[in-house]
Amino acid sequence: MTESEKKLNVVGKSVPRRDGVGHVTGKTVYVDDITFPDMLYLKMVRSPVHHARIKGLDFSAAEEVPGFVRALTHQDVPKNIYTILCLIGVGPDEEPVLAEDKVLYKGEPIAAILAETEDAAVEAASRVIPDLEELPAVFDVEEALKPDAPILKEWGTNHFVYEGHHCRRVRLGDVERAFGEADYIVEERYQTSPIEHAPTETTACVAKPEPNGRYTVYTNTQALYFTLDNTALILQLPFNKLHFVGGTVGGAFGGKVDVIVEPIAILGAMKTGRPVKFRYTREEEMRVSSTRSAWRLYYKDGVMKNGQIIARQITSYADSGAYNRHTPYAVTKHAANVAGPYAIPNVWIDAYCVYTNRQPASAMRGFGVTPASFAIEVQMDKIAETIGMDPWEIRFVNAYRNGDIKPHQKIVEDATLIETMQAAAEMVGHGLSDRSLAMNSWDREKV
Amino acid sequence: MTSKIVNFNLNGRDVEVMAKPLTTLQTVLREQLHYTATKAGCKQGGCGSCTVLVNGEPMASCLLPVEDVVGQQITTLEGLTPAEGLHPIQEAFFENYAIQCGYCSPGMIMVIKALLDRNPQPTREEIIEAIAGNLCRCTGYEPIIEAAQDAARRLNDG
């Protein structure tokens, strides 16, 4: 141990988990462990179809259920239409807390039922049969962009609008000219699937009105203040009326960053003066909560015989599902990464955030980048195979280094790709060429 | 549906509850008796987070009507925890970092308790078999298996 290592209190040592004793004794308090004697339960009336116009709602049969307390509709929500990324300037607002005249996905909440017990809430919600006029639905990103597709958004297109543009665009050099000079053209289509995070603890919150006029909200959100801010905007409440208590989350993986259960539960507490619990069933978690978005990517690469990629053209489509959630941001992040950690002089990227009649997608571990990495690296293998080159070597030939320019015209400052690949090759016992072994990330002149 | 009085033994203590037909043991534990160590991950027998011991055998309390445990011995994680400190299985889970979000931990610990009671020196394969019905979505299965092996050592040495 060196002198400097001896001074470290944490690095190199095992530190007991602060919450560990609570977890192994079951004394950790999760949101669903919290109850209050006069607490109500909230259940949603959800759309049974993928796309429809709402013609009417009849609560009379629900009101007959013993334990029914009241229903909430969009008319009860102070600012019903929202988009959570408004906090970073993304707009316009486009998702309703409760559907107004249309539903855009199967499972979309139309009305909330408050009842004395969860069973009564389920029973009452099941008795609200909305009068719906079903509309044609679209489930494929490219179908959704065709002229004859059903239009889902007020602004008249099925894609997010980036500063007046149809997609997030990245342009470097001239790909068409470079394709003309390339020895090989390598093209492929890639598709990823939506994935449900499936945390063991389902999404839940309890909203409790306090005598001082504030609302205490116990929630398992991953984004406590982000959710508090959005909730205050939706409910048109001063921020200091909301006291969010969180931090204990029974698994989330990006699936608990949307603002879903808190605003409506607090509204229920405001309208009844009683605590309200809103917890997803496992079925709701699987069928309604946000997923990782599905992506489709088209790559066209111009490659020289020595393995150098001189042009890369990418068109990619994120399936955002029916609403924004975090996908407009994911697409921007995606566009910055989708050409890969390679020095390519000519790059052309069109990355679309597309709306379909599927359950909304949102954040999940590395969202936007993960599907890009999948497509990039399969494409690199395909190029290597096409030109008959070792798949390791082709990555060294193209690896970006400090001082290179990225497609979105930022200078690379922190490249470690070469060193990482050298270490990985050594660990798996893969021999590298002398040239690859001599390379480093900071000195292009050397090799 | 008329409620019935149901008696059973919970962690060494006789309890009496009123329950409607088909009310699950999980609901009675969590929502009537407020024994919340037993988790409710799926309420359909798919995740194992609600595992309790019925006469020493691990069972999914979300699928078990409480009327079926009349007169039986129920052990939950609360019953495993000693007055001071931790049970050796809990120590092993804590010290081997076999916990991440903690939501599967109560079910995992109860399953390992049942395993070690009937098989004090399980093989790695027997541990994997024992926890096959318990999902860990943080995917920390390796530390859980190591914790079970460590717990066996602690109990056998103790």
Mean pLDDT split into 10-residue runs, chain B, 158 residues? 94 97 97 97 97 98 98 98 97 97 98 98 98 95 98 92
Give the residue from chain A lying closest to B86, CA to CA: A25
The answer as to whether A376 is a domain residue is no
How many domains does the structure of chain A reveal? Answer: 1
The answer as to whether A55 is a domain residue is yes
Cβ contact A249–B101 (<8 Å): yes
List CB contacts (< 8 A) between A364 and chain B.
Answer: none
List CB contacts (< 8 A) between B36 and chain A.
Answer: 26, 29-30, 32-33
Cβ contact B102–A28 (<8 Å): yes
Which of A250, A252, A253 faces B102 most closely, judged by CB atoms? A250
Residue B138 corresponds to which amino acid?
C
The answer as to whether A386 is a domain residue is no
The answer as to whether A205 is a domain residue is yes
A156: region left, alpha or beta (phi > 0 left; psi from -120 to 50 alpha): left
Alpha-carbon distance values, B56 to B14, B15, B93, B116 (Å): 16, 18, 20, 11
Q: Are A372 and A342 in contact (CB under 8 A)?
A: no
> Distance from CA of residue A264 to its chain's centroid?
21
The answer as to whether A57 is a domain residue is yes
Asked if ipTM goes beyond 0.90, one says yes
Could you tell me the residue range of the domain that residue A267 belongs to?
A: 31-134+197-286
pLDDT of residue A446: 84
CA of A21 to nearest chain B CA: how many angstroms apart? 7
What chain B holds in terms of domains, given with CATH numbers, is: 4-76 (3.10.20.30), 88-157 (1.10.150.120)
Q: Is B102 on the interface with A (CB under 8 A)?
A: yes
Dihedral sign from CA coordinates of B110, B116, B121, B127: negative
Q: Model-level pTM?
A: 0.95
- Report the residue count for chain A: 447
From first to last of the 447 residues of chain A, give the pLDDT tens digit. Answer: 677 777 888 888 889 999 999 999 999 999 999 999 999 999 999 999 999 999 999 999 999 999 999 999 999 999 999 999 999 999 999 999 999 999 999 999 999 999 999 999 999 999 999 999 999 999 999 999 999 999 999 999 999 999 999 999 999 999 999 999 999 999 999 999 999 999 999 999 999 999 999 999 999 999 999 999 999 999 999 999 999 999 999 999 999 999 999 999 999 999 999 999 999 999 999 999 999 999 999 999 999 999 999 999 999 999 999 999 999 999 999 999 999 999 999 999 999 999 999 999 999 999 999 999 999 999 999 999 999 999 999 999 999 999 999 999 999 999 999 999 999 999 999 999 999 999 999 998 888
- CATH number of the domain where residue A217 is located: 3.90.1170.50
Which of B39, B105, B135 faces A24 most closely, judged by CB atoms? B105
Which tokens sit at B83?
């007055």
List CB contacts (< 8 A) between B11 and chain A.
Answer: none
Q: Scanning the structure block, which residue is given the tokens 């609901």?
A: B27
Cβ contact B36–A33 (<8 Å): yes
Cβ contact B40–A249 (<8 Å): no
CA of A370 to nearest chain B CA: how many angstroms apart? 18
pLDDT of residue B139: 86
pLDDT of residue A1: 66
Cβ contact A21–B103 (<8 Å): no
CA of A202 to nearest chain B CA: how many angstroms apart? 7
Walk across the sheet containing B4-10 and list its strands: B13-19, B4-10, B73-75, B51-54, B57-60
